[in-house]
Structure 1
Amino acid sequence: MIGSLLFYALYPLSLYLRRRQSVVHGTMACESFAATSRLSIESPKIPPDQRLGQNCLSTEKKEEKMSEQSSDETPDVEQLVCVSHKDTMVEAPSNMSEAQTAATGRREEEKQETPKEEDGNMHSPLAQPSPEETSNEDDDLPIISLMRELDKMESEEDPGNAAACIKHETECWDEYPHLMLPGVTNSNPKQTSLVPNAEIHRDTQIGWHFPAGPGGTEEIFCPLWQFPTMSYYPPRENNATFDVIWRLWQKTSTEHPDPLVPFTKPSVDFTVMSYNILAQDLLEANMELYPHCPQEALDWNHRCKMLLEELQKWKPDILCLQEVQENHYQAQLFPFLTEMGYNCVYKRRTGNKTDGCATCYRSSCFSEVSVTPVEFFRPQTELLDRHNVGIVAVLRPAVYQGSKVAAKGSLLCVANTHLLFNPRRGDVKLAQLAIMLAEIHSVVKLWKDKGEHCNVILCGDFNSLPHTPLYQFITTGELDFQGLPAWMVSGQQDLSHKATCDVLRAPLWPDCLGISDSCQYVTSSEVDASHSPVTMPQASPGGKFHYSRDVLMDLRSCPLSCVGPSDLLLIPGVTDSKPDVSSRNQPAIRFQHVIRHQLDLESTYKHTLAESGAPEVTTLHSEGAATVDYIFYSPERVSDLAGSQFGCKGLKLLGCLSLLSEETLWFMEGLPSYVFPSDHLSLLAKFQLELNTAAC
C-alpha cells in the first residue's frame, strides 16, 4: 500500500521535472539534459497575468510592436529584439548577437546596482550546472531581459489577451509540446515556446492531469494542494451483496461406499433444516432484547426477503420452522414454499398466541403417510398450562422415474416442536418433552407392529443448553430428576444464589396425563391392572415373609391398608380414626424418580467449533448467546454383519452446515442483522437413507 502511494505521488512529479522546458544558449531543451544557469536579473519578477500575455499574442501584433519600438528615437528606451514564432530555434543565435551588442553597456550597470540579485539561481532538480554553461550565462541574460520588457509592454497594452490565456497556462498537462533539443531542428516551430523563468512558471500551476482507465482514455486532475497525499482513483464503493462465507459445509462422513462392505444398497440423500424465524409479534413485544439492531434490520419486509433468499439458497428437502406468525405464513411463506414445490403443515399455538410451527417437505422426494398436531396445553393439569405446540409427521422417501415410483425408503418420523422458554420451569419443559416423545413412540410402535422400521428426526427450539439434564435425557434416554432444581433442567440461567428454588420430585406429572415414566401412553388395561389388589407373598420355608420396597410402597396406597383387623383394640383418638380413602393420592401409574424413553437419538452438531474450540451459538440477543436449537436423529446401527438387515436401520449423517461463535456474531452486529434475518441461526444437516427396491 505504501509503495503504491509513493509510486503515484513521485511518478508524475518526476515526469514534470524531467520534461520541463528551459532555454540553454537560446535553444529550447528539456531540463533533463540542461544544466542550471546562474542569472543576474535586474527587473522585478513579472506577475503571471502579465507574463502569460506573451504566449497569447499573435505573430502580427508582436511584429507590429517591434516596428513601433524601432522607430521610436526616445533616448531612454533602447531598441528591443524578440524572437518571433515564425523564426525557428536555429535562427535564435543570430538575433542574440544584435541584442547582446545593444545591451552591453547597460549590463555592467545592472550588476553594480543590484549585487544581491546576482546570486539568484535557477536550479534544475535533476542536473547540476556545468562549467561551460556557467561561463555562457552572460549570453543568456540580454535575451531574458529583453523578453521580459517586451512581455510587460504587451501586457499593459492588451491586458485582455493576457487574462484570456490564464486558464490555458495555469494547468500542467502530461501532454507537453514537442521540445527542441540542442542540435535538433524543430519541424513544427509553432509548438515551441520560450520559458523565460521556469521557477515563476511552476508557481502558476494549480495541478496535474494524468491518463487513467483502460488504454489511457480517461484523465484525472489532481490539485497541487493534495500533493503528496492525493489519490488518483475515486474511493471504491462496496455495492456488492454480502455473502455468508463463514458458514461452511462440514462433512462428517464419506458419501462413497465403504470398500470393506461386501455389498451396498441403493440410497437417497436428503437435507433437513430447523429454523426459528422469530415471529414479528414476539419481536415487537420484546424490543429490549434487540437494542443493538438497526431499525431496518428489524423490519418484517426486510427480514422476510432475506429469509426467503436463505431458504431458496439452501433448498432443504425437509423444513421445520418455529415462531411462524400465522398471517405471515398465509400471505408470504406458504405461497412461496408452495411455488418451490413444498407441501406444508402448520399448527398455531393455543390461546391468544399468533405464531406456531410449520413442517414442510418436498413433494418430489417424500410422500405423506400421516400428520399429528400436538398441543401441550391441558386444562385439567396445572403443570401443563402453557400454549406450546408441535407437529409429528410420518413421511416415506421415494425415488420417482417419471410418474412411477422406482424405489422407496423406510418410514421417516419428523417431529418439530418449540418448548417453553421460562428458565425457571424445568418441570414444565420435561412434561412437554414427555408428551412429544410419547407421540413419537406411538407412531414408531404402530409401524413396528406392522413389521416396518421407522427412523426418527426430532428438531426444534428446546430452550435448553447442551449437556444439561434435558439434553442428556434426550441423548441418553434416562434422567434421574429426584431433588434436581427446576432451573437446572435447561441451564439457561444460574439461579443457585437464590435462597429457595423449586425442586423436582416424583411423580413428575400427574397420572391423568396418561403417560408413564417411560414416556409412553398407558392403555386402559394397564391402568386397571394398577388398581388391582396387591397379592400377598407366600411364606418362605423359614416361616417369614419377604417384601420388596416397591411392594411396600404399593401397600401404602392400597385400599386394604385402610381396613383394620376385627380384633383391634379400640383406643380413642388412636385406633378409632379411619383414613379417608377418597382423599388419599392413589396414583394409577407407578412413577419413580427416573424417567426414560426407548428412542435412540443423537445430535447432529457437536456444540463446539473444530477450529477454535469455542462454543457454537444458535441464538443471540442482548441478554446473551447460547445453543438452544437442535436436530436429533436415529443414527445408523450395525448389529448383525451377516444378517439380511445389514445397514438397513438408522440414518447416516453426511454433514451439516457449520455454526458461528458468539464473538463472530457480535462482530457482525449481532442478531438479527443485515445478514441474518432472525435472532436464531438455521440448522442444516444432510442424511443418507437406504432404499428398498423390492418393495416396489
Structure 2
Amino acid sequence: MDFTVMSYNILAQDLLEAHPELYAHCPPEVLDWNYRRHILLEEILKWTPDILCLQEVQENHYHEQLHPALSEMGYKCVYKRRTGTKTDGCATCYRSSSFSEISVTPLEFFRPETTLLDRHNVGIVSLLRPVLMRGSDVKATGPPLCVANTHLLFNPRRGEVKLAQLAIMLAEIDRAVQSCKAEGENCNLILCGDFNSVPHMPLYQLITSGKLYFQGLPAWMVSGQDDLSHRAHCSRLFSPLWPACLGISDDCQYMSRQDTRKSHGQKAGKRRYSHEFLLQLRFCPATFVRPLDLELIPGVTDNRPDTSTETYDKRFRQTIHHRLDLESVYKHILPVSGGPEVTTLHSEVGAAVDYIFYSPRRVFTSHQKTGVHYVREGLTLIGSLSLLSEDVLWSMGGLPNNKFPSDHLSLVAKFRVDLNAARPGQLR
C-alpha cells in the first residue's frame, strides 16, 4: 500500500497580524486570509495526501472554514488548540478511504507543576490502521501507523524547554508503540511538524540518532536557530534536565504507567505507582505553594522542605535517549546546487525547521545459507516534494506570495507499507 503524508505550517492569521514587520516585503493582498485560504486548499487538493499534519491552525478558521472543506474532501480530523490565550494549534487529518482510527491522544506541553514547562505548545499522537477498499467493502489491515504532529517552542534561547517538550512527544509515541507490541503487532512511525530547530543540531540529532549528551550544552545551541556564541554568559544545560514529577525518564518513556512497566519486563501488581516513584514526588515544586490563609510563624510555617535530598530520578544521566528508529525524509541539501533547503522564510531569516521523520524499513539476514530474513517494521520512502532555496524564494517575492500562502513551505512524502509485514519475532 502506498500513501502520502503532508506536513504544513499554514501561518495563523492572528500571528501574521501580530508581527507585521516580518511580512513588510509582501503585497497586502497576499496576506489576506481569504486569499491565502483559497491557495492553501488548492494545494492540499493538488497533492491529495492520505495524512495531513497542519500547524498554526487558527481555531475559528478551523471550525468555520478548514474543517468543513477538508471533510468534503474525505478527511477525518482532530484539532488541538494551544493552551493559555493562544488562538492557534495543530490539526491531524486522514483520508477515511486509506486509514481507520485506533486512538487519538492530544498533548499539552504546559505543566503548572514545573517552571520548566511554562510554554503553551501542543501536539497530537494518532494511531491509525491502513484500510483496503474492495468494492463497497472496507477492510482494516496491516500494521498500525503512529502519526505524531507537533509545533515546538520557537524561542531560540530556551533549548531546555524544547527538549522537554520533545521528550513528552517521544514518550507518548513510545507508549503507542508498546501498546501495539502488547497486542503482538509492529508499529510504523511518522513524526511531523515545525520543530523550530535547524538540521543536524542537538535537538535534530536526538531525534535521528536516538541519543544526546547535553551536560554543559549552551541552551541556544539545542536548536541552532541563532548563534549566540559571542555572548559572555549564556544558560547551559545540566542533569537532571527536568524534574521527576514530569513522570518521564531520560529514556523518553513514561515512568509510571503500567503498560510501560510491562514493556520493561517488570511485574505489574495491584498498585499503579511504585513506592520508589511516589517518593520522588515528595518535593515536587507544587508542594512549595503556600496557602494564602496560612499564618506566618517564624521558624515553623516559613520553613521549606530540604531539597538537598534525592528529588529527581536516580537514573537521570547526562544523556537523553530514545529507542525509536527515526530518519528524516529530507536531506537538507539541494541535489543540484548543493545549497541548503529552506522550509520557512520571512523578512528576518530563511531556514529549515519543518520535518517529516519516519521509521525506515530494515532487513536483517538471519541465515546466510538459506537467505531467510527477519523483516523489522518500517516504511519505504518512495519520494518527496522538492524544497527550494532561499534565493529562489526571494526571486518570487519571498513568503507568503501568490503561489505559496504561508511563510512555510509544505512538505510532502510518499511511502510504501507492507501490509503483510512480519510480526515481532517472526521470520520471513
TM-score (norm 1): 0.53
* Pick aligned residue for 2:275 from 506, 515, 528: 528
Residues 149-193 of structure 1 show CA distances to partners (whole Å, capped at 9, x for unaligned) of: xxxxxxxxxxxxxxxxxxxxxxxxxxxxxxxxxxxxxxxxxxxxx
1:617 aligned residue: 342
User: Is contact 1:638-1:647 (8 Å) kept?
Assistant: yes
The answer on 1:639 being equivalent to 2:367 is no
For residues 305 and 85 of structure 2, the distance between their equivalents in structure 1, rounded to whole angstroms, comes to 40
Quote the Cα distance in structure 1 between the aligned partners of 2:251 and 2:373: 27
Q: Secondary structure of 1:447's partner? A: helix
> 1:678 and 2:425 equivalent?
no
1:661 aligns with 2:408: no
Q: Any idea what the Cα deviations from partners look like across 1:566-608, whole Å, max 9, x if unmatched?
A: xxxxxxxxxxxxxx98442413412111010000000000000
CA contact (8 A) 1:617 1:662 kept: yes
Tell me how far apart the structure 2 counterparts of residues 653 and 694 of structure 1 sit (CA, whole Å): 19
Look up the match of 2:248: 515
Secondary structure of the 1:438 match is: helix
Consecutive unaligned residues in structure 1, runs of 5 or more: 1-267, 533-579
More helix by share: 1
- 1:271 corresponds to which letter in structure 2? T
Percentage identity across aligned positions? 67
Larger Rg computed on CA atoms: 1
Alpha-carbon distance in 2 for matches of 1:499, 1:282:
32
Structure 1 residues 427-446: aligned runs within 5 Å: 427-446=160-179
Q: Which residue of structure 1 aligns with residue 115 of structure 2?
A: 382
Task: Give me the whole-angstrom Cα distance separating, in 2, the residues matched to 1:387 and 1:499.
Answer: 30
Cα deviations across residues 315-371 of structure 1 (Å, max 9, x unaligned)?
Answer: 100000000001111111111100000000000110111100000000001000000
Partner of 1:548: none
Cα distance change, pair 531–336 in 1 and its aligned pair in 2 (3 A)? closer
Which residue in the other structure is 2:215 paired with?
Answer: 482
**Which residue does 2:53 correspond to in 1?**
320
Question: Could you tell me whether the CA contact under 8 Å between 2:129 and 2:140 is conserved in 1?
Answer: no
**Residue 313 (structure 2) aligned to one of 589, 607, 624:** 589
Amino acid at match of 1:333: L
C-alpha contact 1:468 1:489 (8 A) present in aligned 2: yes
What is the deviation of 1:520? 0.5
Question: Is this contact kept in 2: 1:325–1:355, CA < 8 A?
Answer: yes
Which one scores higher on RCO, CA 8 angstroms, separation ≥ 6?
2
- Cα distance between partner residues in 2 of 1:587 and 1:653: 44
Task: Report how far residue 493 of structure 1 moved.
Answer: 0.3
Aligned counterpart, 1:571:
none
Q: Please give the residue correspondences for 1:443-592 in structure 2 after superposition, counting only pairs within 5 Å.
A: 443-523=176-256, 528-529=275-276, 582-590=306-314, 591-592=316-317
Q: Which amino acid aligns with 2:355?
A: Y
Alignment match, 2:426: none
Change (3 A) 1:612 1:583: closer
Q: Taking structure 1 as reference, are residues 648 and 405 closer, same or farther at Cα in structure 2, changes over 3 Å only?
A: farther
- Give the conservation status (yes or no) of the 8 Å contact 2:74–2:95: yes
Aligned residues: 382
Equivalent of 2:331 in 601, 606, 619: 606
Q: Which amino acid aligns with 1:275?
A: Y
CA gap of 1:395–1:644, structure 2 versus 1, over 3 A, is farther
Looking at structure 2, the residues matched to 652 and 279 of structure 1 have their Cα atoms a distance apart, in angstroms, of: 33
Q: Distance in 1 between matches of 2:398 and 2:422?
A: 51
Who is 1:272 aligned against?
5
Offset from partner CA, 1:501-529 (integer Å, 9 cap, x none): 10000000011000000000002777534
1:189-338 mapped onto 2 (5 Å cutoff): 268-338=1-71
1:354 matched to which residue of 2?
87
Q: 2:102 aligns with which of 360, 363, 369?
A: 369
**1: CA distance, partners of 2:376 / 2:84:** 43
User: RMSD over aligned Cα, in angstroms?
Assistant: 2.1
Give distance in 1, aligned partners of 2:11 and 2:385: 20
- Tell me, what secondary structure is at the counterpart of 2:60? helix
Q: Deviations over 1:211-245 (max 9, x none)?
A: xxxxxxxxxxxxxxxxxxxxxxxxxxxxxxxxxxx
271-280 or 396-405: bigger deviation: 396-405
1:16-165 paired onto structure 2 within 5 Å: none
| Letter paired with 1:369 | I
How far does the alpha carbon of each residue in 1:16-73 deviate from its partner, in whole angstroms, 9 at most, with x for none?
Answer: xxxxxxxxxxxxxxxxxxxxxxxxxxxxxxxxxxxxxxxxxxxxxxxxxxxxxxxxxx
Note the C-alpha offset of 1:450: 1.5
Alignment of 1:630 with 2:355, yes or no, is yes
- Which residue of 150, 156, 161 maps to 1:423? 156
Partner of 1:28: none
* TM-score, normalised relative to structure 2: 0.86
The residue number in structure 2 matching 1:345 is 78
Q: Distance in 2 between matches of 1:585 and 1:657?
A: 53
Separation in structure 2 between the aligned mates of residue 417 and residue 694 of structure 1, nearest angstrom: 30
| Distance in 2 separating the partners of 1:493 and 1:523 | 37
**In the aligned structure 2, how far is the partner of 1:583 from the partner of 1:276?**
42
Deviation of the 1:406 alpha carbon: 5.2
Contact 2:376-2:422 within 8 A present in 1 as well: no
SS in 2 for 1:638: strand
Retained in 2: the 8 A contact 1:406–1:693? Answer: no
In 2: Cα distance, 1:458 partner to 1:689 partner: 16
